[in-house]
């Protein structure tokens, strides 16, 4: 899922939780995120969920204050469209504005099995409870 926090003039306006493959932003009412205001084109930008890529559709879009045609978004990036700022998260933000990564990670454990396994055919490993990424 993608989480967006919309603000205007330092005032939070709305939160969006979106799970479709392509998210559209602009002033036309058929967009997933409709933004009315000067400097916002009818179809201004789009975000691809699978690649986390933002594409400007000719309206003039910024990411972290840098004008972009295309950008791969990271947690906490700020998208600028017209007078709006949109904070982007690819996982649900916490109360302090940070984000917990809820994506599924494939982990491969290498090493020797612990001695004394209950089942000799199914080795067990001692793995730390917390893994820092």
pLDDT, tens digit only, all 133 positions of the chain: 789 999 999 899 999 998 889 999 999 999 999 999 889 999 999 999 889 999 999 889 999 999 999 999 999 999 999 999 999 998 666 655 554 444 444 445 555 555 554 545 554 545 444 444 4
72 vs 76: CA distance, rounded Å: 12
Q: What is the pLDDT of residue 59?
A: 83
Beta strands in the chain (DSSP E): 2-8, 11-18, 22-26, 33-34, 45-48, 53-56, 61-63, 66-68, 70-72, 78-81, 84-89
Radius of gyration, alpha carbons of the chain: 21
> What's residue 20's pLDDT?
87
Distance (Å) of CA 8 to CA 14, 23, 70, 82, 111: 10, 20, 23, 10, 52
């Amino acid at each position: 899922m993608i989480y967006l926090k919309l603000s205007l003039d330092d005032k939070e306006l709305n939160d969006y939780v979106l799970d479709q493959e392509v998210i559209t932003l602009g002033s036309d009412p058929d967009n997933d995120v409709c933004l009315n205001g000067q400097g916002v084109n009818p179809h201004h930008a789009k975000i691809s969920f699978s690649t986390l890529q933002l594409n400007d559709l000719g309206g003039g879009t910024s990411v972290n204050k840098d004008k972009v045609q295309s950008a791969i978004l990271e947690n906490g990036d700020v998208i600028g469209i017209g007078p709006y700022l949109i904070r982007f998260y690819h996982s649900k933000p916490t109360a302090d504005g940070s984000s917990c990564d809820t994506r599924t990670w494939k982990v491969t454990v290498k090493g020797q099995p612990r001695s004394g396994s209950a089942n000799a055919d199914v080795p067990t490993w001692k793995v730390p409870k917390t893994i820092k990424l």
